[in-house]
Structure 1
Amino acid sequence: MTDVSLPRIATDLHTNDQAKGRLKARYRSEFIFQALGLGALLIAAGFLVIFLSTIITQAIPAFTQNYVKLTIELKPETFNPQNATGADLVKAIDTANFDGITAAAMRTFFPGATDRAARRALGNVLSSGAPTSMRRQVVANPSWIGTTQTFYLPLDDNADLFLKGLLAPTDTMKGAGDLSLSGTSGQVQLTATASNFQPLLAAIKAQLITVRDTLQRDLAGRERVTAGLERDIAALVRSVEAAGPADRERLQGRVESERRQLASNQNDVAQMRQRLEQLNQRIAGADASESLDNTVASYFVKINGGIIKLARIEASSATGEVLVAPTSAGTAAAGTWEIVRIAQAETNRRLPDREIAFLMAMKERGLVEQRISREFFLGGASREAELAGVWVAIVGSFLTLLITLGLSFPIGVAAAVYLEEFAPKNRFTEIIEVNINNLAAVPSIIYGLLGLAVFLNVFGMPRSAPVVGGFVLALMTLPIIIIASRAAIRAVPPSVKEAALGVGASHQQAVFHHVLPLAMPGILTGTILGMAHALGETAPLLMIGMVAFVVDAPNSITDAATLLPVQIFMWADFPEQAFQSKTAAAIVVLLVFLILMNAVAVFLRKKFERRW
C-alpha cells in the first residue's frame, strides 16, 4: 500500500489574532445593533410620554366645571300661577321667566350692584345656558313647586378659566400697616400708615418701561416702512415722467395708491410718537404717583369684605372705585386687608375687572363649587364652551360603528373564505385579489367622495346620519378585514383540514367546522383593528356632511349625528381658550374608546384561541 499524506490543518484557526479580531467585530456589531434597538424604543417611548402628558395636561381642566350655588324658592305664583296639573303644569313651568329668576338670584349676593354696568357684569359671570339648565331640572321635577331648592348652575367659560387660574393669574400681598377706607360706594380714598403702595409704583413703572420699549421698536419699524414708501413714490414719479401714454395712467394709479398708504403710515407714526411722549412723561412721574388705566396691570384692595379697584396710587395712599361694596368703612388692621395684582392688562384679556371682582367675592363666600363637568360628559354641540360636550358624538360614533361592523364583518369574512378556500385560481380571481390589496391603500377621502356621489346623490340617503357614515366606513374597512381574514385562514395548519377530509367531512364542513373556528381569533383581531382605524377617520365623514350642529343625541341611525373625530376637528377650529381644553379632553375620550376596542380584541382572541 502507498501511504497518502493528508494536508495539514492549522490548529489555531479559531484562536489566532485574525479570528479574535473577527470575533470582537461580531460582538461589537451585535452590541451596536442592540444599542440602536434600545435607543429606538426609548425614543419612541419618550415621544409617547410627551404626547400623552401634553394631551392629558391640556385636557384636565375640561373634566371639571365651576358652578354657582343658587338657593331659590320656587313660588307657585311664579311657576304655576293658574294652579295647573299634569301636562298643563309642565307647560306652565316651561314658560316661566328663568332668565329673570336666575338674574335676581345672582343679585341677592351683591345688593350694591344696582347700576346697569354692574348688573350686566354680574349676568356675564353666569353661563348663558344656566337658565336652560334650571328649567330642565324644574320641568323634570314638578313636585319641587312650592319648595326651596339648591341649584348648581354653570359659570361662563371665561369665569371658569379664571377660577382655575388659566385666564388671568393673580398675585396677592398682605397689607403691612393699617388702612383707612373713606366710604363704601363710588370713588373712595384709601390711606395706609405704611408705604404699602410703593412697590406697586415700582412694578407699574417697570411695566410702562416694557410697553415703551415695545412701542419704540414698533415705531422704528413703521418709520422704515414710511421711508421705503417715500423712495418707491419718488421712483414711480420718475417712471411716470419717462413712460409713454399707454403706461402713464397705470403708473399714476400706483402712485396715488402708494401716496394713500404713505399718508396712513405717517398718521400712525405721529400717533405712536405722541403715545411714546405720554409714556415717557408717565415713567418720569411714576416714582411719586401714577394714574392707572386699562393698559397696565390692575390692582384690587380687598378690605372689610369688599373689593376696590385702584385708579390712582401714591406711596401711602390711593384712590379707587368700589366694585364689591364692603360691609363698612373705617380702618382695617394690618394683615386683615390685601392687595391683589392682575398682571395682564384689562385690554388684553376676555374678563373685565368688575367680573373678576364678583368672582373673587363669590369664591371667598363659598358660593362657587368645582365639580365634575356634567355638561362635558352629557352635553352635545354648543357655541358656548362651558356647555359643549361629547355625549352626542359618543352615541353617533357607536351607531356608526355598529352599522360599519354589521356590514363589513360578514361580507369581509365571507369574501375571505371564498377567495381562500373556494374560488378557482384563475386570472379573474387574481385581478380581484390585486384590487382588494390596492383598495386597502386608497386614501380615505376617496371613500368620502364615493359616499357623496353614490349614497347621497344617487340613493338619496339622509345627510349627516350614522347610516351613511356606516356605509362609507364599511367600504373603507372591508379590504382591511378581507386581508386580515385571509391571513388568519392561511395561518391554520393544512393538516387540520386534511384530517377533517380524511374522516369523511366535505370540503365545506372542513372549512366551516374546523378551519374557520381556528382562524376566528385572527379574524376578530383584524376586524377590531379595522374598526379602530375607521373610528379615527375624519376626511370621509366631512365629505358626506357629518358636521351637523347636533345638540341632542340621535335616537336612530337616520337621525343627524356627529362622531368624535369630527367633533374634535370642529372644536379645534374655535378660537375660545376653553375649547382648547375641550379638544384635548375629547382626544382623551377617543383614546379611551380605542383602548377599549383593542382590549375587546385581545379578550376575543384569548377566548377563541385554540392550541394545535
Structure 2
Amino acid sequence: MNNPATNTTSRRAIDIVNASLKRRYARERRFRWLGATAVTLGMVFVILLFADIILKGYTAFQQTYIQLPVELAAATIDPDGNRDPATLASADYMKLIREALREQFPEVTDRRDRRLLTSMISVGAPDLLRERVMADPSLIGTTQELWILADDDIDMLVKGYIDRNAPESDRRVGDQMISWIDKLDAEGRIAKRFNTIFFTHGTSREPELAGIAGALMGSFYTLILTFLLSFPIGVGAALYLEEFAPKNRWTDLIEVNVNNLAAVPSIVFGLLGLAVFIGFFGVPRSTPLVAALVMTLMTLPTIIIASRVALKSVPPSIREAALGVGASPLQTQFHHVLPLALPGILTGSIIGMARALGETAPLLMIGMIAFIVDVPKGFTDAATVLPVQIFLWADSPERGFVERTSAAIIVLLAFLFVMNLAAVLLRRRFERRW
C-alpha cells in the first residue's frame, strides 16, 4: 500500500523542484537577454562610430580643382631657351596661373579684388605646375587647359561645408568670391577630382596639400623593422621557455614577468625608449629605427605568449616520434614541432603587429610627433606614423583637416582590418586539428 504521508512529501518535493526550475529558467532567459542586449548595443555603437567616421572622411578622397587656360610662356619659364632645370625650377609659375585666372574675370581691376581672386588658388598650385613642366619641357610655349588646385576654403564651399545662407561675417568665403565660383561652375570649370595628393604627399599646414604618404612610409618602415626584430626574438624565447628551460623559480619568475609586460601601459615603453635608446645609446629620435625598437619591446610579450600556446598545442606524440627515430631535441623542435606550430605563431605575430600599427602614446615620447613634410627614404630618416599623423591633424582648427583626419582613420582601420583578416585566414588555412 502507498503511504499517504510519503506521497504528500514526494509531491511537495516535486513542486519545490518545479518552482526552482522555473526560477532557474527565468534567470537563464534574463541572462541570455542581457547578453544579447549587450552584444546588440556594442554593434550599434560600433556601427555609429564607423558611420560617423566615414560620413566625415569620405569627401577627403576628392579635391576641388579649377580649370584654367594657362599660357606657359617661354619668356617667363625659360627666357634663355636652354631648358636648364635650375632655370625651369626658379620660374614664376604663380604669375602664369594668376594671369590665366584674371583672363576669366577681366572686369576685376581693383588691386584688392585681384588679390582676393588669386586667393582662390592653392599656394601649392605653382609647385604642382612646376613639377609638370619639368617632367615635360615640351609644354613650354603652349597654352594648356590645366586643372589647378583650389584653396581649401573653396574646396569646403564646393563640398557644402560652408553655409551660403549664413551671414557673410560668419563665413570664411565672402559673397563676391561665391559669385566668382558660381560663374566658373556655370562654365564647367569647377570639378571635384580624385585626391591623389592625399596619397602621394607628406603633411602640410595647408589642408588641400596635406597627405599621408610620409606617415604611411614611416609606418611601413617601423612595422618591417619591428617584425624583423620581434619575430625571431619572440619565437626563440617562446621555444626556449616552453621546450628547453628547466622548471625552477627563475623560469617561473621570467614567465610571470612576460605575462605582466603584456599588460603594461604602452606609454611606459615610450619612456623606456626615450631613456635607454635615445638617452643612453644615442639612437636618432623621430626615426623608424627608434620607433621599431620601442614597438619591439611592446610586441614581444604578445608574440611570446601566442608562440608558447601554439607550441603547447602540438601533441607530445610528435616529439616522441621524432626522438624515437634518432632526431636530436633541437632537430625535433625545428623540423617537426615548430612547423606545426607556425600558423598559431604567425597569427599571434600579426596581431602584435596590428597593435603596433595603431599605437600612438609611446611614439609621442620618442619624437615621432615632429612636423615631417618629406617622405622618409629609409630607417634613419625623420618620419612620423599614421596614428600620430591623425593625432596632429585632429588638433588643427581648419575644417579641411577634419575630413582628412577621418579619411586617415579610414585608411588606418582598413590596414588593421586587413591584418586581422590575414591572421584569421592563416589560422584557418594552416591550422591542424589533433
TM-score bin, normalised by smaller chain: over 0.9
Secondary structure of the corresponding residue to residue 611 of structure 1: coil
Secondary structure of the corresponding residue to residue 528 of structure 1: helix
Match of residue 486 from structure 1: 308
Structure 1 residue corresponding to 2:117, chosen from 94, 119, 122: 122
Give the TM-score, by structure 1 length: 0.68
Structure 2 residue corresponding to 1:49, chosen from 47, 50, 68: 47
CA distance in 2, matches of 1:476, 1:370: 43
1:507-586 map, 5 Å: 507-586=329-408
Q: % of aligned pairs identical?
A: 53
> What are the ranges of 5 or more consecutive residues in structure 2 without an aligned counterpart?
1-5
Alpha carbons 2:390, 2:408 under 8 Å: kept: yes
Q: 1:430 corresponds to which letter in structure 2?
A: D
- The one-character-per-residue Cα deviations of 1:52-73 (angstroms, maximum 9, x if unpaired) are 0011111022111110112223
Match of residue 230 from structure 2: 408
CA distance in 2, matches of 1:531, 1:448: 17
Match of residue 19 from structure 1: 17
Distance 1:14 1:365, change over 3 A: farther
Q: Which moved more, 1:51-60 or 1:64-73?
A: 64-73
CA distance in 2, matches of 1:584, 1:13: 67
* Post-superposition offset of 1:15: 9.6
Alpha carbons 1:538, 1:566 under 8 Å: kept: yes
Between the two structures, name the one with larger relative contact order (CA 8 Å, sep ≥ 6). Answer: 2
Match of residue 392 from structure 1: 214
CA distance in 2, matches of 1:455, 1:23: 63
Match of residue 286 from structure 2: 464
CA distance in 2, matches of 1:9, 1:487: 56
Q: 2:64 corresponds to which letter in structure 1?
A: N
- The one-character-per-residue Cα deviations of 1:193-229 (angstroms, maximum 9, x if unpaired) are xxxxxxxxxxxxxxxxxxxxxxxxxxxxxxxxxxxxx
- The one-character-per-residue Cα deviations of 1:149-207 (angstroms, maximum 9, x if unpaired) are 22212111111111111112x3xxxxxxxxxxxxxxxxxxxxxxxxxxxxxxxxxxxxx
CA distance in 2, matches of 1:151, 1:392: 27
Alpha carbons 2:72, 2:96 under 8 Å: kept: no
Secondary structure of the corresponding residue to residue 431 of structure 1: helix
Larger-Rg structure: 1
- The one-character-per-residue Cα deviations of 1:478-497 (angstroms, maximum 9, x if unpaired) are 11111111122112222322
Alpha carbons 1:14, 1:20 under 8 Å: kept: no
Q: Does 2:149 match 1:154? A: yes
CA distance in 2, matches of 1:62, 1:372: 9
CA distance in 2, matches of 1:14, 1:436: 57
Larger relative strand fraction:
1
Structure 1 residue corresponding to 2:325, chosen from 499, 503, 512: 503
Q: Does 2:433 match 1:601? A: no
CA distance in 1, matches of 2:100, 2:57: 32
Distance 1:20 1:427, change over 3 A: closer
Q: Does 2:272 match 1:450? A: yes
Give the aligned CA root-mean-square deviation in angstroms. Answer: 2.0
CA distance in 1, matches of 2:406, 2:97: 32
Match of residue 369 from structure 1: 191
* Post-superposition offset of 1:458: 2.1
Match of residue 38 from structure 2: 40
CA distance in 1, matches of 2:318, 2:359: 39
Alpha carbons 1:13, 1:19 under 8 Å: kept: no
CA distance in 1, matches of 2:255, 2:184: 68
* Post-superposition offset of 1:14: 11
* Post-superposition offset of 1:9: 9.0
Q: Which moved more, 1:29-38 or 1:571-580?
A: 29-38
Alpha carbons 2:120, 2:150 under 8 Å: kept: yes
Q: Which moved more, 1:450-459 or 1:520-529?
A: 450-459
* Post-superposition offset of 1:28: 1.8
1:84-483 map, 5 Å: 84-85=82-83, 88=84, 90-168=85-163, 170=164, 342=165, 344-483=166-305
CA distance in 2, matches of 1:64, 1:585: 11
- The one-character-per-residue Cα deviations of 1:511-534 (angstroms, maximum 9, x if unpaired) are 222221221111111111111111
* Post-superposition offset of 1:142: 1.4
CA distance in 1, matches of 2:208, 2:312: 53
> What are the ranges of 5 or more consecutive residues in structure 1 without an aligned counterpart?
1-7, 171-341
CA distance in 2, matches of 1:511, 1:433: 20
Secondary structure of the corresponding residue to residue 42 of structure 2: helix
Give the TM-score, by structure 2 length: 0.94
CA distance in 2, matches of 1:453, 1:27: 58
